[in-house]
Structure 1
Amino acid sequence: MRLSTLLFGFFTLLLSTSVYGQNPAEAEASMDYYLPQDVTYNSEIPTPEEVLGMVPGEWHVRHDQLVKYMEAVAEASDRITLHKFAETYEDRPLLYLTVTSASNQQNIEQIRKNHVALTNPERSEQLDTENMPIVMYWGYSIHGDESSGSNASLLVAYYLAAAQGKEIEQKLNNSVILLDPSLNPDGLNRFASWANTHKSENLVSDPNSLELNQRWPSGRTNHYWFDLNRDWMLVQHPESQGRIDNFHKWKPNILTDHHEMGTNSTFFFQPGIQSRTHPITPEQNQSLTKAIADYHAEKLDNQKRLYYSQESFDDFYYGKGSTYPDVNGGIGILFEQASSRGHAQESVHGVLKYPFTIKNQFLTSLSTWEASQNLRQEILNYQRSFFQESKRKGEQADIEGYVFGTSHDKARTHHFVEMLKRHKVKLYELAKNINADGESFQANSSFVIPSDQKQYKFVKALFERRTSFTDSLFYDVSAWTMPYAFNLPFAELEGRDYSDDLLGSKVDGVPELPQGEIVGGKSDYAYVFEWDEYYAPRALNRLQDADVRTKVASKPFTGVTANGTHRFDYGTVLVPVGPQSVDESDIYSLMKKAANEDGLTVYAVGTGMTPRGIDLGSGSFEDLEQPNVAVLAGEGASSYEVGEVWHLLDQRYDMTLTLFPPDRLSFADLSRYNVIVMVNGGYNSLSNGAVSNIKDWVQSGGTLITTKYANRWAERNDLANIEFVKEDNSKEDEKEVNPKPYAERDKARGAQYIGGAIFNAKLDLTHPLGYGYNDDEMTVFRNSTLFLQKAENPYATPLYYTEEPLASGYISEENLEELAGTASIIVSDTGRGRVISMTDNPNFRAFWYGTNKLFMNAIFFGQTIDGGSGN
C-alpha cells in the first residue's frame, strides 16, 4: 500500500456513516475486545486482568500496578527480560522490557553489540544485515495524562509474551523490542489518581465533569512539572538521562512515541508537515516514515477508524522523542490519539470511551511491528548509511571543529560537556591556548569537538545558528544553539584555525564536576569568593543557612591573598571570620564544602586593607539577607515556569522555597518572605485584597520578580513602572488592504508568533543583576511577543536587546524591528521595595544555564539595588 492508497482510505472513511467506524461509545474493556483472534495465546502467561484484577480501560492503571504486571509477565515468559534503569524524583522505578525470541535472549548481548557496530562507519560494511534483527524502542505516555499509551502497553506486553504461531516466532526472531511502558511514571500516577478518584459507577461523559477537568498543574508533566517530551536532547532529568543511556546502548532503528490530543480529533501518525522537517534529517528518513505509515493505515482501515498524517505536527526540534532518533540514525514516529481524558467523554464523533483510545495505541504498536518485518533490511541499511554519511560530511565540512569553554565558570562548561557525553559526542580537552573568532580559549578550561566523527550531524544541530527557514511555523522552538544557552564562548574552527595538535586528552564518559580550592588555607580574618561560578548561590545559601553573616562587594577591589594580589570584581562575596556567632572552624568547614562541592575558588585573606579599591570594611560591601522565597503556584500561573523555578532552587541550589497558592494572598502574612516570584501567567483573578497585600509587602522592602506576561499584571496594578511597546498602526491604516486567500490565514497569523528563538542582549556588568558575568554581550531565549520600552531612568534597564538582536532562530521582520533596542529587564522602585520585570524566561527548560544567574542575582541581590536607580 502506498501513500495514494492511504489518502483514498482516509477520504472513504470521511464518507462513512459511522465516523469512527467501530462505535467508540460501544467500546468495552475486555481482552476479547482488544486482542486479535487469529492467533492462540499461551495460557501460562498471565493476563493483566489475572494480575491486577481489572482489564485495561476499566480503570486508569497506576504506575505501581504497571510495574507489578511487567514483573509478572517477565517472570512468566522466556521471551522477556525486565530492566530497571533509573528512578524518578518521586523514587518510582523506570523500567523497560527487552522482548525477543527465547533463542535470541540466550545471545542478547552479542546481538546488541553487532547491532551497535552497524553505527560504526569503520566496521559496519563488514556486517550482513540480511539476518540481523531490527531493534525498536516503543515508548508510552511521556505525558502522564495521555495515558491510553501506558494502558495499552499492558496489552502489548501480554500479546508479545503470549501470542503463538509460526509467524509470531519469526517476528520475534527478527526483532528486539525495548518496551518502555511509562516514560513519565510520576505524571502517570498523578493523573490516574485524579481520573480514578472522580470516576462514577455510571460513566459521566459530560465535558464539564470534574473527572475530565484536572486541576492545576495536571498530570502531563513530571514531578517538577517539566514536559519530558522536550528533554530528549537536553537530558536534564533522571527519566531522560536513563532513557538516553538506553537509547545509545542499543541504537534503535524505530522509536515510537504514543501520545494523545484533543477529544474532537481522530488519530495521527507521522510523517508530519514536510516543509517543517529539519534540514539535517535525510530525505530517506521521511520516505521510510511514509512507508511505515502505510501499515498503520491498513491496520486502522481494517478497523474502520479515522486517522490523518502529514498535518499538524512536524519533525524540526530534535529534543522530542519522535524527532531525536532522526538525527541519530533512527526513525521516530509520533502517534496522537483523541483523548477521552477520563473514562468517557462526549465529542463531535459521539461519546469517546477509554477502551477505544487504548485499542488504537495497541493496534498501531502491532502495525509498527508488521512494518518493521517487511522493511527490516532497508531500515538497517539506512542506519548504516546514515552514520557513514554523517562521518563523511564531517570529514568534508568547512568547519573542521568547534572549541568552547570559559575559565570563569567551570560548572557551566562542565554541564555542557556532560550533555555532549550523554549523546556520545567525541570531544577532547584543548591542548594549548588559542584565539579564534575574537575569543580566547585556555587549555585548562576549554574543549574541542572535531567534525570528523559519526555524531557530526548531531553536533552540527547543536551548534548551528540558523536564521533562514522554508516555513515560518514551528510546533516547538526554532532554535536551541547550545553554547548560547550556556552563555559559553565558542568558535567554529576552519582551515588554519584547526589542527589535530589542538586535541588533548579525550573525554571518556560523563565527567565529575571539577573541584575548586581554598587559596591560603584557614583564615583568621576573612574569606572571599567571586560570583562567577554557577554554584556560587548554593555556597552562599549554605553559609546563610548556618547563620554566617555575609556581604557582597558593590565595587571592585584588589585583595592580598596567599598567591599575591588578586583583582576581585563586582559581586564578590565577603565572609568575615569575626564578628560572627558561628565558630571559625565551622566557617572553614563551610568554605571547604564550597570548594569541594560547588567548584569555587575561595581566597583566605589576612587583612582588611587592600592595595586598590574598597577595603573590606567599606560601606560598599552590602549586608546580605538570606532569601526567603515564595513562588505563586496555582491557577493562572504557568506550571512549566513555576516548575522551572522550583527545580532550579530545590535541585540545583539546595534552597528551601514555598510554592504559594494564589488564593491565600489576600490574608496570608507575607512578612515571612523577602522575595516573591510571579512567573508568566494571567493573575486577573487575584482579589483586591491580594493586590493590596502584595503592594504593602513590596513597599515595606520586599523584592517582587515578575516574568513575561506577569509584567502586564504588575503594570496594571501600579507595581511596576514599565511601558510596553505599542505597534504604530497609523501608517498601516492609510494603506489599501488587499484581499488574501482564506487558506493562508493560519500561516499569516503563525508567522507573527515567536515559538522560541535566541537573541543578542547587552548587560550592565556593574549592576547587581549583572554580578558574576564577565562579558556584557550575552544571548537570551525568548518565546513571546511582549516588548518593553527601556526605562526612563537610565540606570533601571540592566539588560536590553541590541539593535541587531537575532542570534539564531525565526522571528518575523515586523517583530524583529519592534524588538530591536527594547528592554529585557527593568527595575522599578515601589516604596522601599523593588519590582524586577523580566520580559523573558531565564530558566527555560532547565538548560538555559547562561541566564539562570540573572534570576539568582534578582533573588540574592535584589535587596541591594539602590533606590534611586529604579524606574
Structure 2
Amino acid sequence: MGKFFVRGLFLTLFYLTICTAFSQTLDYYLPQNVSFNPNIPTPASVIGHEVGEWHVTHDKLVYYMKELARSSDRVTIEEIGKTHEGRPQLLLTITHPSNHAGIDKIRSDHVWLTYPNEADKFDIKKMPVVTYMGFSIHGNEPSGSNASMLVAYYLAAAQGSEIEQMLRNSVVLLDPSFNPDGLNRFATWANMHKSKKINPDPADREYSEAWPGGRTNHYWFDLNRDWLPVQQPESKNRIAKYHLWKPNVLTDHHEMGTNSTFFFQPGVPERTHPLTPELNQELTAKISEFHAAALDSLGSLYFTEEGYDDFYYGKGSTFPDINGGIGILFEQASSRGHAQESANGILRFPFTIKNQFNTALSTWKASVAMREELLAYQRDFYKQVLKDADNDNTKAYVFKAEKDPVRAYHLAEILNAQEVDFYRPSRNIKMGEETYTSENSYIIPLKQRNYKLVKAMFEQRTTFKDSLFYDISGWTYPMAFNLEYHEMSSRDYSRNQLGEKIDKLSFPEGKVLGGQSAYAYLFEWHGYYAPRAANRLLEKGVRIKVATSQFTGPGEKLFDRGTILVPVEGQRLSESDLFYEMQRIAREDGLDVHAMKSGLTDGVALGSNSFVALEKPEVALVVEAGSSYDAGEVWHLLDTRMNMLVTKLPADRVGSSAIDRYNTIILTGGLNLSEGELQNLRSWVSKGGTLVGMGSAVTWMARNKLTNLKTVEVEYPKTDKVPYDKIDNYSRSLYIPGGVYMSELELSHPMTFGYYRKMLPTFKRGTILIEPSESLYANAGRYTEEPLVSGWISQANLEALKGTSTIRVSALGRGRVVSLVDNPNFRAFWYGTNKLMMNAIFFGRIVDGYAAR
C-alpha cells in the first residue's frame, strides 16, 4: 500500500513538474551570448502570451509581424496577396538598413545572375545571399509558424558586430505562414481543447483533429504539392515573389509523427530527381552540417538521408532545385497540440518550436558562410542549362487543344506563372497527323534559362534509380491537360518558327455564330467550361437538351455527341434575354455558340428523340468520410470553376431522408452505414438518383452490392530475401505511387461526351483495379494493353492494370451508379479528366439501362 502511495505521489509530482514547464519564457529559445535591442517588441508584448504557451492564431501572427516592421529599420513588410478566406499573406524582407536603401537594385542584380548572357557582368563577391524562410505550409504543423516570430525577432533585435556583418551579406525573405487558413483552423482546435493542467495523453481530444483537419487550405488542398502547378491563390502569390527574387536557399518547415525526432535534408540520395545537379545535393549536405551542429548544441535527436526524397518538383523543398537554388526540408516530430507522450518522452510544443527556430538560424548562418559558393552555383546553374539544351535531342515542345482552346490556355497560364518563355508559331507546323497553327497553338523552345523547369513539366519518364517515392512519380503536364502535343527535334524545329512571344495571356473567348436566333442555339460539349454554361442556363430555368447522336448542320458543320440544344420557343427568358445569355456563354465560357434558323439537319433533326432533356444537377458531396483531398478537389472544381452549388453533406446524414432533395450524390470514400441506412441509399438510387463514387468509394459500393464490379487481385512475386529492416520499403514498392497511364474511351458513351480523341491520359495512384465488363457498352473507359506513359509501376501491377476499367456505369432501378476508378480531379491541374466528373453529374442518369451493366 505504501509503495503504491509513494509511486502515485511521484507520478503526480512528475506530471505537475512537466505541466508547469510547458510555458517557457523567451530565454528558453534565444541564445544567451547575444544581446537584444530593447526597443524591438518581443512576441509576448504584442500577442499577449509567451511563444508556445498557446498556438498563435493567424491574426496575432500578422499583428506581431506588422509591429516588428514598424519598430525595426531592418524589416519591411508587404502583403503579397490573400487566401481563399481573405487572410493576408505576408512577406518580410529583413536585411541591414544600408541594404534596404538600395533593395530594388540588390534584387534586380541578383535576378540577373539567372540570365546566362548577363550574369558575368556582376561581381558575386559584393552581392548578398538571398534566403527565403517559409513556415507551416501544413496548417496543423504549427511549430514552424510559431517559430517564425522568434526568427523575425532575432533578426530584427539581435545586436553585435557579427550580426551586423551577416545582415549586410544577406537578404532574408520571411513568410511566417505559407497556409494562413489552415494554420488558423488548427490553432483554434488546439487552443479550444487546451486544459489549464496540460494533459499529454495521446487519447485526449486535443490531439485528434476533426475531419478534414488543419493540414490543408480552405478547399482542403495540400499546398505543399502546388509549387509547380500553382492552382491555389496562396501558391500563385508566393511563386510570383519567388521568381521576383530567385532565392539561393529556401527553407520549408514541417512536422511529422509524434514518435519521430527531427529530419533535415538531404534526403535518400537515390531518390533525387535526375534533373537536379549533383552539386545541389553536395551543397545541401554541406548546409546540413550547420543544422547538425545547432541540434547537437541542444541535445536534440535528428536524422538525415533517409525517409524523405527530392523527386517531385511540386514540393517546397524540391521546387528550388529546378530553379538554381537549394531547397531544405525540415521535419519536426509534432506535439499535435501543447504536449504529448511519445517514444522519446513528453514532447512539448515549446521544444518543437525551439528546434525549428535553431535550424532556421543555422540555415541563415550557412547561407552567409557559403554566400559566394551559393551565388556561384546559381550563376553556373543557368549557364549550364543552355549547354544542356544544346545537347538535348528535343529542341522544343508544341501543343494545342484543337476543339477546346481553354485547356491549352490554362496550361499556358502555368507556364506564364513559372516565367517560362513560350510563343505562338510563326507559321503552321505539321507534326504527324496534327497541324499546329498560330491561332490555336503554343510553342516552347528548350534553349532558355528555364530549360530544366520545362523538361520537368513536359518529359515522359519511366526509368528510375529507385522504386520508392515520397510523392508521385509522373506528372507530364500536356497529358494532364489532355492536349495534342509533340516533341520537336532539330529536324523539326528552327528558331524562325517562333512567332509572337506571349507575355500577356488573353482568355480565348468564343463567338455567337449567326447572330440572334428565333429558333435554337447549339454549343458543343468539347469546351472545358461547357458544363458551366449548361448549369448557368438550367439555373435560369432554361430548358436544354443533349444530343446523343452526331448530326451535320449548316456549312457542313459536324456536331458531336454531347452538343447542347437550347430551343428559343417556350422558354422563361425572352428571345433577346436568351441571346444575351448566349453572348455571355461565348464570352465567359470560351464556347462558340451556333444560332440555328431551322431544325432540319443532316442525320438527326433537332426535334429528334436523340436529344435528351437535362435536369439541373442538385449535388451533395459527402464529407467527413473518405479522402478530404479528393472531396476538396470536387468542391473546388464545382464551386470555383463551374460555378455550381454543391452541398457538403456530413456522412452521418446519408442514411436519412436528407438526401431526398438531391439528384446526385458524390462519394470520395467508403461510409459506415447500418443496413437500414444502406437500404435508404439504395432506395434513393433506385428512384432515379445518380450516385458517383471515386477511388476507394468504388470498392465500397461493390462490397455493398450497389454495383456488380469485381476487383482484380494482383499476383505479386513471392520473396523471402527482404531484410527485416527493409520490409516496409518492400511493401511500399507494391503500391502504384502515382503517374500517367493511357486509357481508351468509347466515344459514343454519354460518360465520354466532349472527348474527341479515343486515347485519354489518366492519372492513377493506388492499387484499385476493376475487371472490365463483358458487356461491350458498359466499358466507357479502359486502360490500354500498353498503359504506362510516365511514372514508376511494378511489373506485377503493370500486367494487372492492362485492360482494366477506368469508368463504369451500373443500373440500380431507375437510377445509376457511376464508378470512377481513378481521381479525375487530381490536385486541380488534371484538367484533361475533369470532364469525366462533370459528365457523371450531367449525363450519368441518361445512360441507357442496357449499357449500365
Match of 2:657 in 1: 668
Aligned match for 1:641, one of 626, 630, 636: 630
1:24 touches 1:353 (CA, 8 Å); kept in 2? no
For the pair 1:830 / 2:812, whether they are aligned, the reply is yes
Give the Cα–Cα distance (whole angstroms) in 2 for the partners of residues 752 and 118 of structure 1: 44
Match of 1:859 in 2: 841
SS in 1 for 2:275: coil
Q: Deviations over 1:341-373 (max 9, x none)?
A: 000100111111110000100000110111011
Q: CA shift at 1:523, angstroms?
A: 0.8
Q: CA shift at 1:176, angstroms?
A: 0.5
Aligned length: 837
Match of 2:513 in 1: 519
SS in 2 for 1:465: coil
Aligned match for 2:565, one of 570, 574, 579: 574
Give the Cα–Cα distance (whole angstroms) in 2 for the partners of residues 60 and 789 of structure 1: 49
Q: CA shift at 1:440, angstroms?
A: 2.9
Give the Cα–Cα distance (whole angstroms) in 2 for the partners of residues 533 and 525 of structure 1: 23
Give the Cα–Cα distance (whole angstroms) in 1 for the partners of residues 270 and 443 of structure 2: 34
SS in 2 for 1:698: helix
Structure 1 residues 524 and 111: alpha-carbon distance in aligned structure 2, compared to 1, 3 A threshold: same
Match of 1:90 in 2: 85
For the pair 1:395 / 2:383, whether they are aligned, the reply is no
Aligned match for 2:731, one of 728, 742, 749: 749
Match of 2:61 in 1: 66
TM-score normalized by the length of structure 2: 0.97
Q: CA shift at 1:407, angstroms?
A: 2.2
2:529 touches 2:642 (CA, 8 Å); kept in 1? yes
Q: Deviations over 1:5-58 (max 9, x none)?
A: xxxxxxxxxxxxxxxxx9999554211111112111111111111111111101
Match of 1:4 in 2: none
Match of 2:287 in 1: 292
Give the Cα–Cα distance (whole angstroms) in 1 for the partners of residues 129 and 205 of structure 2: 44
Unaligned runs of 5+ in 2: 1-16
Match of 1:121 in 2: 116
Give the Cα–Cα distance (whole angstroms) in 1 for the partners of residues 205 and 525 of structure 2: 49
1:24 touches 1:352 (CA, 8 Å); kept in 2? no
2:743 touches 2:761 (CA, 8 Å); kept in 1? yes
Q: CA shift at 1:728, angstroms?
A: 5.5
Equivalent positions of 1:299-698 (< 5 A) are 299-509=294-504, 511-560=505-554, 564-610=555-601, 612-634=602-624, 636-679=625-668, 681-683=669-671, 685-698=672-685
Q: Deviations over 1:427-457 (max 9, x none)?
A: 1012222221443323211111001101001
TM-score normalized by the length of structure 1: 0.95
Aligned match for 1:849, one of 831, 834, 852: 831
Give the Cα–Cα distance (whole angstroms) in 2 for the partners of residues 279 and 243 of structure 1: 26
1:322 touches 1:332 (CA, 8 Å); kept in 2? yes
Match for 2:651: what amino acid?
P
For the pair 1:783 / 2:765, whether they are aligned, the reply is yes
1:472 touches 1:747 (CA, 8 Å); kept in 2? no
2:714 touches 2:797 (CA, 8 Å); kept in 1? no
Q: CA shift at 1:739, angstroms?
A: 4.3
Structure 1 residues 23 and 391: alpha-carbon distance in aligned structure 2, compared to 1, 3 A threshold: farther
Moved more, 669-678 or 623-632: 669-678
Match for 1:659: what amino acid?
K
SS in 1 for 2:779: coil
Give the Cα–Cα distance (whole angstroms) in 1 for the partners of residues 332 and 722 of structure 2: 34
Q: CA shift at 1:738, angstroms?
A: 4.9
Give the Cα–Cα distance (whole angstroms) in 2 for the partners of residues 243 and 728 of structure 1: 45
Match of 2:271 in 1: 276
Match of 1:717 in 2: 704
Give the Cα–Cα distance (whole angstroms) in 1 for the partners of residues 622 and 31 of structure 2: 50
1:233 touches 1:318 (CA, 8 Å); kept in 2? yes
Q: Deviations over 1:451-491 (max 9, x none)?
A: 11010011111111111111000000000100110000111
Give the Cα–Cα distance (whole angstroms) in 2 for the partners of residues 439 and 27 of structure 1: 66
Match for 1:567: what amino acid?
L
1:24 touches 1:351 (CA, 8 Å); kept in 2? no
Give the Cα–Cα distance (whole angstroms) in 2 for the partners of residues 86 and 740 of structure 1: 50
Percent identity of the aligned residues? 53
Match for 1:648: what amino acid?
L
Moved more, 64-73 or 785-794: 785-794
Match for 1:300: what amino acid?
L
Match of 1:7 in 2: none
Give the Cα–Cα distance (whole angstroms) in 2 for the partners of residues 495 and 124 of structure 1: 28
Q: Deviations over 1:368-423 (max 9, x none)?
A: 11101111100000000000001221133211111111221111000000001111
Q: CA RMSD in A?
A: 1.4
Give the Cα–Cα distance (whole angstroms) in 2 for the partners of residues 803 and 406 of structure 1: 25
Moved more, 746-755 or 134-143: 746-755
Q: Deviations over 1:166-198 (max 9, x none)?
A: 111101100000000000000000000000000
Give the Cα–Cα distance (whole angstroms) in 2 for the partners of residues 628 and 249 of structure 1: 44
SS in 1 for 2:850: helix
Equivalent positions of 1:9-24 (< 5 A) are none
1:764 touches 1:799 (CA, 8 Å); kept in 2? yes
Q: CA shift at 1:565, angstroms?
A: 3.7
Structure 1 residues 744 and 200: alpha-carbon distance in aligned structure 2, compared to 1, 3 A threshold: closer
For the pair 1:726 / 2:721, whether they are aligned, the reply is no
